[in-house]
């Protein structure tokens, strides 16, 4: 598997490349965000390892640019001490997973191989009949395995964090879930952090699901608490 490491700390980048290659992968390094985008455009990547703090454009902007141009290669974001604000901002930009520095090598390899497996599963043709990992909401077909939402002839590609949040809300249909629950149960964050970022995710999901996003009938805000999903 070809893996791109976008990291400006040379010793860390070289160490990651050494261990990835020892595990049988082909790893390349880009020391800036701009160079990372250039190498990513060559295609053929299984995973992108992306540091937040980079010279030039930062990791958040790199992730955004990749997703904006339709590149959905799984991204593992490396964050300084796992700051919640970095993690949330990374998820908003479209990253799939995060790992705080410093990290244990065995955990790093497990995260990488997990992302590779997840991407491989998404490429397996869906069996017939339609699997339970597909559901319909308000005339939209949601495919959790392939991270897709189809409305008529239009298919929207969702990020991993969008699909995880949507699954969580659907599994709690009819129940009010707090922003704190979402932080902990969906994103694994227990530290106090600004929960307004969750509102941004809800706004995006409403655009996908609601006939009138400004007058939501499905993803409702429960003032002062959180949200409730009600199937139309």
- pLDDT value for 159: 86
The answer to whether the beta carbons of residues 174 and 158 sit under 8 Å apart is no
Confidence at 229, pLDDT banded by 50, 70, 90: very high
Instruction: State which of 123, 142, 170 marks the end of a domain.
Output: 123
- Global pTM reads 0.74
Q: Are residues 100 and 7 in the same domain?
A: yes
The answer to whether the beta carbons of residues 176 and 201 sit under 8 Å apart is no
Confidence at 188, pLDDT banded by 50, 70, 90: confident
Residues paired with residue 120 on neighbouring β-strands, in sequence order: none
Q: Are residues 179 and 119 in the same domain?
A: no
Q: Are residues 112 and 143 in the same domain?
A: no
Q: Are residues 13 and 112 in the same domain?
A: yes
Within a domain: 128: no
Q: Are residues 99 and 139 in the same domain?
A: no
What pLDDT digit, counting tens, does each position of 122-142 carry? 554 444 444 558 999 999 999
Q: Are residues 109 and 162 in the same domain?
A: no
CA 39-44-50 angle, to 5 degrees, is 50
Instruction: State which of 79, 99, 123 marks the end of a domain.
Output: 123
Whole-angstrom CA distances from 91 to 79, 188, 194 are 12, 12, 14
At residue 209, what are phi and psi to the nearest 5 degrees? Answer: -105, -35
Whether residue 129 has a cis bond before it, omega within 30° of 0: yes
Task: Please give the average per-residue pLDDT across 201-217, as a whole number.
Answer: 92
pLDDT over 90 for what percent of the chain? Answer: 56
Q: Among 50-54, 67-71, 188-192, whose mean pLDDT is lowest?
A: 188-192
Within a domain: 34: yes
Q: Are residues 11 and 104 in the same domain?
A: yes
Q: Are residues 48 and 17 in the same domain?
A: yes
Q: Are residues 31 and 106 in the same domain?
A: yes
Mean pLDDT over all residues of the chain? 87
**Higher-confidence residue: 27 or 85?**
27
Q: Are residues 118 and 11 in the same domain?
A: yes
Length of the chain: 232
Q: Are residues 11 and 119 in the same domain?
A: yes
Q: How many domains does the chain have?
A: 2
Task: Please give the average per-residue pLDDT across 5-31, as a whole number.
Answer: 95
pLDDT above 60: residue 191: no
- pLDDT value for 126: 46
pLDDT above 50: residue 164: yes
Instruction: Residue 74: give the domain boundaries.
Output: 2-123
Instruction: State which of 98, 123, 148 marks the end of a domain.
Output: 123
CATH number at residue 91: 3.40.50.2300
Task: Please give the average per-residue pLDDT across 52-67, as a whole number.
Answer: 93
- pLDDT value for 80: 80
Q: Are residues 119 and 6 in the same domain?
A: yes
């Amino acid at each position: 598997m070809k893996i791109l490491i976008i990291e400006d700390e040379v010793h860390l980048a070289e160490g990651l490349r050494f261990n990835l290659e020892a595990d049988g992968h082909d790893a390349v390094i880009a020391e800036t965000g701009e160079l990372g985008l250039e190498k990513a455009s060559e295609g053929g990547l299984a995973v992108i390892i992306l540091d937040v703090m980079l010279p030039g454009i930062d990791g958040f902007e790199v992730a955004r640019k990749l997703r904006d141009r339709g590149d959905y290669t799984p991204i593992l974001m490396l964050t300084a001490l796992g700051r919640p604000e970095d993690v949330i901002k990374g998820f908003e930009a479209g990253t799939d997973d995060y790992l705080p520095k410093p990290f244990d090598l065995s955990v790093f390899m497990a995260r990488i191989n997990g992302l590779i497996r997840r991407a491989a599963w998404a490429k397996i043709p869906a069996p017939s009949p339609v699997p339970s990992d597909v559901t319909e909401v308000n005339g939209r077909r949601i495919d959790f395995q392939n991270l897709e939402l189809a409305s008529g002839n239009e298919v929207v590609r969702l990020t991993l964090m969008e699909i995880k949040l949507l699954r969580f809300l659907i599994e709690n249909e009819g129940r009010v879930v707090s922003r704190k629950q979402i932080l902990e149960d969906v994103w694994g964050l227990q530290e106090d952090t600004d929960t307004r970022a969750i509102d941004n995710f809800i706004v995006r999901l409403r655009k996908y699901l609601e006939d009138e996003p400004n007058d939501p009938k499905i993803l409702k805000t429960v003032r002062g608490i959180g949200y409730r999903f009600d199937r139309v």
